Structure 1
Amino acid sequence: MKVIIIGGGLGGLSAAVTLARHGASVKLFEKNPHFGGKMMPIDLDGYHFDFGPNTITMPEVFKEVFTQGGLAAKDQPVFEKIERHTRNQFPDGGHFDFSSDHQDMKNQIAALEPGKEHQYDSFTREVERLYNLSKQSFLNRTFSSWKDYLSPSLAAKIVQVKPWQNMDSFFAKYFSHPYIRQSLNRYATYIGSSPFHAPATFAMIAHLELNQGVYYVRGGNTKIAEAFVKAAKKQGAELYNNTKIQRITTANRKVTGVVTQEGDFQEADYVILNGDLLHSIPELIENEKRNHLSDDKINSYDPSTSAFVLLAGLNKRLDQLHHHHLLFSADYHKEFNSLKNGDYPTDPTIYISTSSKSDPTVSPYGDNCFLLVNAPPVGAGRNDVDPEEVKERIYSLLNTAGIPIKNYIQAEEVWTPEKIASQFGAFKGAIYGPSSNNKRQAFMRPFNRSLDFSNLYFCGGSTHPGGGAPLVVLSGQNVANQLLGRLVIME
């Protein structure tokens, strides 16, 4: 079985490991110099940054790929749990910290909202239930057609994961204090969506962070991608970087192979497209050949949010910064309304990841601050936004909050939604593919198999089971197992 994988993100790499391990001939092509997709290392004048993801959950998903790849324990990245992992800071100077220590969380809740600490156990049980139902029904399976949604047992489980309630109203059932509500509502941004529209189903993310825990990989989270590359090569997969695929060749409703930018034809029995299929499909296959995923269909999708990113290497370590640190906006509704209207919020929530707080070796001269604010997708609104203006607004808000990052900058790099779109082939610069702001897109993402070509498959954040590093890895595993005839559907 000859399989060609287009895109060397985590989904494509994980599929390559599984397929090669079970005897398939695998060739993977990546247009960028690095493998790992958005899990990209950036080094600026001695400061190391993980472009993304900065928060690691579900380490068992990554470890399974290492095991399949035959990596010895000494060759596997080390996952370190961060107990009190996120500082949520507010405009009035107050804060609420996230921790996987339940007693720690209860103590903080009791101080903010006396009596509600008794709700925490029922809350964590409910988000665990949502996660377990999602795992049984969505996370470990592929979706190849509309028929896959028509199973009575699947329909019953969908109803149980609260698809009609939004995340904000779900959290409001348990807590009233604005610190707690706003902190929890941020989980919607993990899927590039608004907590006032995304289904309560995604409250399961709270289970991953607050029950299971948040992790960091020593040396940088990008060590995960490096290990995936080693695992794929060890199993015999051929990996090519700096190699852009120009088009997918087709005949009689099947794909026959790919053509590289240099004009080389590579034959295939199956092609797996890893990456943002909403961006890639129009580039690779003529519109008239794809009735089910036409340009009009693709353009009907509501993209998730994009991001404005600053990388700032400091000549000082700021004691007030934590590994994961949020400075929240004063009005979360207003922030998401601005994004919906295609505008940069004037008072954005600012996320700061400073991995040197857990691992000083990645930034020996001072803090390595990865700053991110939610931004509208490319083409959603005004196109005349000055990146310098956005950057200075971010630094000004931080300075007012007592986090004077600008005063100590030694190295700096700016990433706009346009740059993200270009670098990663992201549809309109969206970080997580289609948004989950409506029920259709939340549960019925583009299928894992093309409806136009029987041997063309999709993995990555724009298809099932969704965005985020662990789910992207699972999408690659699920597609590989389907091709191998090993996928077990849990009903």
Structure 2
Amino acid sequence: MKKVIVIGGGLGGLSAAATLARNGFDVKLFEKNEHLGGKLMPVKLGTHHFDFGPNTITMPHVFDSVFHESGENPRDYFEWVSIENHTQNVGPDGEKFLMSTDPETVIEQLNSIDPYAAKHYPAFLEEVKRLYHLSEKAFFHRTFTSWKDYFSPGLFSALQKVKPLETMDHFHQRYFKNPFLLQVFNRYATYIGSSPYVSPATFSLIAYLEMVQGVFYVKGGTVKIAEGLAELARKNGADLLANTEVSRILTEGKRAVGVELSSGEKIEADTVVLNGDLLEAMPSLLDEKNRSHLSNRKIENSSPSISAFVILAGLDRHLDDLIHHQVYFSADYKKEFRELFGGEWPDDPTIYISNSSYTDKSVSPDGSNLFILVNAPPLAANGKMSIDPEVYKEQIYNRLRKFGITIKPHLKHEKVFTPIDINRKFRAFRGALYGLSSNRKKDSFLRPFNRSQDIQNLYFAGGTTHPGGGSPMVVISGQNVAREIISAFDS
């Protein structure tokens, strides 16, 4: 039986482990943290349960497919809850726009906010649908192991059709004229840790996911996805070891032969899958002489995505005027992104709040469980931040109070996560949430391959590699890599 070691128990690692074990491989997965699921981490403060992230779930069929491929019913593991009216957006002057999968609800609002948008919204949905289906067919389920994989005529043709040279903001201006609505839809760039003013219009396909396919929650918390994938992998025969850190990938010549754990124990393998932020993991696991295609210099010159400043606030009452998702926008969105990618902390940040207890009281029976997030710049090269977390936290509470959201008098429990915490907890390069940003065209479409160019049996899954960041894409990357390994041993 061929032995595969998976380094990192995030969603990509779990999907790879489940698929490989189902296909007869001897799989061992090592995760340094006490939980499995990566950034999809459970946090409990008193009776308040939080999903650290992600909170907005789309493409449920991607997660379900891992179970279907193993002959399992995903509903035996977790239950989807569809949220039709899913995100309340609030502009700097108090304007409101409720995002919904019901087109009539959307167009009714557009008629009063932006008549031009109301007229063009159906065409917008058709175009983002086209972008999504073309990307899904041509990119999502394709594994890139060398440059020759990019030279397929069909792939090149598809690339030309997904608006790679147009910015997201420019694309949205075709359909929306109201500045607030442009903010609302441009926010999709943050789902890939980038700026809408430079990232490709291709990623506007996210609108199709949220406004047509739908936004979902998992009963009991989205962490149930990770728990379900871990249970499936174990049922298929994978050995998952949490609280176990890999310190080095062992190599002989141009092949990986196993790993060394932080305890000093060495484990042999025929193939190794690295599920994690390659920019952070590779320098710590492989000597530079063994990774010329991902050298220290190349890593230092990379463009990391944005990070996050997160407050988990457990309240003594339920704020029922806060729905499951809401966003409070800054007055100058362009300035906010200039600051973020210039290494500055915005004075007027856009604030996202998830209140999952609105949908599911069981996760926080005694009061709202508010996951409050503002985008933050990645850490400086020296690993430091330019703000005092306590001061910045108070600044966020003060901003929310101006929107009529009073939190501090009802605060029972509180925990803050900074980019430094994200870097340490998840081994995220400079605290970036999505690895590489998509602000540079090559980082949007030419991410690191799914197989090392230096070590022939070392494979990569996760947000740093193809097909990119976001929980569905990470799951797909794990499946893609698993299929590539299965094919390699069958040939």
Bucket of the pairwise TM-score, normalised by the shorter protein: over 0.9
Distance in 1, Cα, partners of 2:312 & 2:264: 37
The answer for the alignment partner of 1:159 in structure 2 is: 160
The answer for the alignment partner of 1:348 in structure 2 is: 349
- For residues 172-183 of structure 1, the aligned pairs below 5 Å read 172-183=173-184
Q: Secondary structure at the match of 2:487?
A: coil
Give 1:68 shift.
Answer: 3.1
- Unaligned runs of 5+ residues in structure 1 are none
The answer for the alignment partner of 2:370 in structure 1 is: 369
1:132 equivalenced with 2:155 (yes/no): no
- For residues 308-319 of structure 1, the aligned pairs below 5 Å read 308-319=309-320
Paired AA for residue 25 in structure 2: A
The answer for the alignment partner of 1:290 in structure 2 is: 291
The answer for the alignment partner of 1:76 in structure 2 is: 77
The answer for the alignment partner of 2:469 in structure 1 is: 467
Give 1:378 shift.
Answer: 0.9
The answer for the alignment partner of 2:460 in structure 1 is: 458
Give 1:299 shift.
Answer: 1.3
String of CA shifts for 1:389-411, please: whole Å, max 9, x gaps: 11001000000110112221100
Q: Which of 392, 395, 400 is residue 393 of structure 1 equivalent to?
A: 395
Give yes or no for contact 1:17–1:68 (8 Å, CA) kept in 2: no
Q: Which of 399, 404, 418 is residue 416 of structure 1 equivalent to?
A: 418
Q: Secondary structure at the match of 1:55?
A: coil
Q: Secondary structure at the match of 1:179?
A: helix
Give 1:486 shift.
Answer: 8.6
CA RMSD of aligned residues (A): 1.3
Q: Which moved more, 1:293-302 or 1:416-425?
A: 293-302
Distance in 2, Cα, partners of 1:17 & 1:5: 11
Distance in 2, Cα, partners of 1:186 & 1:209: 12
Q: Secondary structure at the match of 1:423?
A: helix
Paired AA for residue 444 in structure 1: L
Give 1:93 shift.
Answer: 1.3
Give yes or no for contact 1:309–1:414 (8 Å, CA) kept in 2: yes
Distance in 2, Cα, partners of 1:7 & 1:159: 35
Give yes or no for contact 1:70–1:231 (8 Å, CA) kept in 2: no
1:303 equivalenced with 2:300 (yes/no): no
String of CA shifts for 1:171-197, please: whole Å, max 9, x gaps: 000110122111000000000000001
Give yes or no for contact 2:303–2:437 (8 Å, CA) kept in 1: yes
Paired AA for residue 332 in structure 1: Y
The answer for the alignment partner of 1:189 in structure 2 is: 190
The answer for the alignment partner of 2:228 in structure 1 is: 227
Q: Which moved more, 1:5-14 or 1:319-328?
A: 319-328
- Figure out how many residues of one structure are paired with residues of the other and give that number: 487
Give yes or no for contact 1:342–1:380 (8 Å, CA) kept in 2: no
Q: Secondary structure at the match of 2:393?
A: helix
String of CA shifts for 1:430-456, please: whole Å, max 9, x gaps: 000100001011111111000001000
Give 1:118 shift.
Answer: 2.1
Distance in 1, Cα, partners of 2:420 & 2:311: 14
String of CA shifts for 1:148-205, please: whole Å, max 9, x gaps: 1122221111110001100001000011012211100000000000000100000000
1:54 equivalenced with 2:67 (yes/no): no
Distance in 2, Cα, partners of 1:317 & 1:22: 47
Distance in 2, Cα, partners of 1:91 & 1:122: 28
The answer for the alignment partner of 2:275 in structure 1 is: 274
Q: Secondary structure at the match of 1:478?
A: helix
Cα 1:249–1:59 change in 2 (3 A) is same
- For residues 135-146 of structure 1, the aligned pairs below 5 Å read 135-146=136-147
Q: Secondary structure at the match of 1:484?
A: helix
Distance in 1, Cα, partners of 2:83 & 2:74: 21
Q: Secondary structure at the match of 1:302?
A: coil
String of CA shifts for 1:255-276, please: whole Å, max 9, x gaps: 1100111111111110000011
String of CA shifts for 1:436-478, please: whole Å, max 9, x gaps: 0010111111110000010000000110000100000000000
Distance in 1, Cα, partners of 2:116 & 2:377: 39
Cα 1:432–1:404 change in 2 (3 A) is same
- For residues 238-277 of structure 1, the aligned pairs below 5 Å read 238-277=239-278
Distance in 2, Cα, partners of 1:113 & 1:153: 38
Give 1:292 shift.
Answer: 0.8
Give 1:366 shift.
Answer: 0.7
Q: Secondary structure at the match of 2:478?
A: helix
String of CA shifts for 1:105-157, please: whole Å, max 9, x gaps: 11111111124312111100100100111111110011111111122221111
String of CA shifts for 1:227-247, please: whole Å, max 9, x gaps: 001100000001101000010
String of CA shifts for 1:311-367, please: whole Å, max 9, x gaps: 000111223211101000000011001112101000000000010000011011110
Distance in 2, Cα, partners of 1:461 & 1:103: 35
Paired AA for residue 435 in structure 2: G
Give 1:69 shift.
Answer: 4.0
Paired AA for residue 409 in structure 2: N
Q: Which moved more, 1:81-90 or 1:378-387?
A: 378-387
Q: Which moved more, 1:116-125 or 1:267-276?
A: 116-125
Q: Secondary structure at the match of 1:485?
A: helix
Paired AA for residue 157 in structure 1: A
Distance in 1, Cα, partners of 2:181 & 2:191: 17
Cα 1:4–1:357 change in 2 (3 A) is same
Distance in 2, Cα, partners of 1:486 & 1:207: 35
Distance in 2, Cα, partners of 1:139 & 1:282: 27
Q: Secondary structure at the match of 2:294?
A: coil
- For residues 35-54 of structure 1, the aligned pairs below 5 Å read 35-54=36-55
Cα 1:224–1:486 change in 2 (3 A) is farther
Distance in 2, Cα, partners of 1:466 & 1:73: 24
Give yes or no for contact 1:76–1:227 (8 Å, CA) kept in 2: yes
The answer for the alignment partner of 1:432 in structure 2 is: 434
Distance in 2, Cα, partners of 1:287 & 1:419: 26
Give yes or no for contact 1:168–1:195 (8 Å, CA) kept in 2: yes
Cα 1:90–1:380 change in 2 (3 A) is farther
Distance in 2, Cα, partners of 1:11 & 1:188: 22
Give yes or no for contact 2:320–2:358 (8 Å, CA) kept in 1: no
The answer for the alignment partner of 1:7 in structure 2 is: 8
When normalised by structure 1's length, the TM-score is 0.97
String of CA shifts for 1:16-56, please: whole Å, max 9, x gaps: 11101010110000000000000100000110000011001
Paired AA for residue 117 in structure 1: A
The answer for the alignment partner of 2:358 in structure 1 is: 357
* Identical positions, percent: 54
Distance in 2, Cα, partners of 1:72 & 1:447: 32
String of CA shifts for 1:293-320, please: whole Å, max 9, x gaps: 1111111210000000000001112232
